[in-house]
Amino acid sequence: MRDKHLTLLVVPHDEHNVRQIRLSYRRLQVLAAVLGVVLVTVLVAIASYGRVAARAGRAVALEQENARLEAENAKVNAIAMNLARTEQAYEQIRSMAGLTPDVLPVEDVQQADAEPRSPRGWPLTTKGFVTAPFDSDEGHSGVDIAVPSNTPVVATAGGQVRESGSDAVLGEYVVIDHDDGYETMYAHNANRLVSTGAVVERGQTIAYSGNTGRSTAPHLHYEVRRRGEPIDPAPYMR
């Protein structure tokens, strides 16, 4: 049985030399399959190129953002180091001049004795500087203190560690429960030195500052809460 075929007639205007082109259905099917494969390959290539181009654009944007954050980080570190040197020079001048350390007024001493385990004092061994104050209207429930990475973070009151963990926003953080409904939190640390349930004393190093979590530069996010509500830490940091 002969294969089915398709005959094409090519007729010139003068109707001479008419040509016949015979194509079997099998060859037509093969040709159609080849054209289909070529078409699918072209479409896949176009789609892949689009995805690659989009990823390349995002990579460039991320590299630019990373470069900007690194530049800001370098500036913050330089400022913090200058402040630390200034503080050290100030202490040396005080020592050479024979000045005595500042003494709390009687009222403050009595208040401190009345609540010996309530938060008070600076939460870092280096002074640093406040880059973002407490602002309940803006949803900033603490203060941000810029300091170089790996600056010791200290507990501002004795108490028990309620939480010591990691968070996508807070990074490496520590929460301490104190007397009379107080609690403090220390976030964006490079690493933590205390675990949940540990008992700590005021002035004890509990972590080292860093740039973890949602953070653009090395700093400590410090919070003071009273009965679960964030309050302005500034009065407790003097």
Does residue 110 form part of some domain? no
The answer to whether residue 162 scores a pLDDT higher than 50 is yes
Beta carbons of 117 and 156 less than 8 angstroms apart: no
Does residue 212 form part of some domain? yes
The answer to whether residue 156 scores a pLDDT higher than 90 is yes
89 and 181 share one domain: no
205 and 132 share one domain: yes
54 and 153 share one domain: no
List the structure tokens of 165: 């963990």
Does residue 111 form part of some domain? no
Beta carbons of 219 and 170 less than 8 angstroms apart: no
219 and 168 share one domain: yes
CATH of the domain at 189: 2.70.70.10
Place of tokens 């400022």: 79
165 and 216 share one domain: yes
153 and 214 share one domain: yes
125 and 210 share one domain: yes
Mean pLDDT score across all residues of the chain: 81
181 and 93 share one domain: no
Does residue 91 form part of some domain? yes
Does residue 106 form part of some domain? no
Q: 221 is in which domain, residue-wise?
A: 117-236
93 and 137 share one domain: no
Mean pLDDT to the nearest integer, 197-215: 95
In percent, how much of the chain has pLDDT > 90?
A: 44
| More reliable by pLDDT, 101 or 154 | 154
Does residue 108 form part of some domain? no
6 and 83 share one domain: yes
How many structural domains compose the chain?
A: 2
Does residue 191 form part of some domain? yes
pLDDT digits (tens, 9 = 90+) for 105-140: 433 433 444 444 589 999 999 888 898 999 988 889
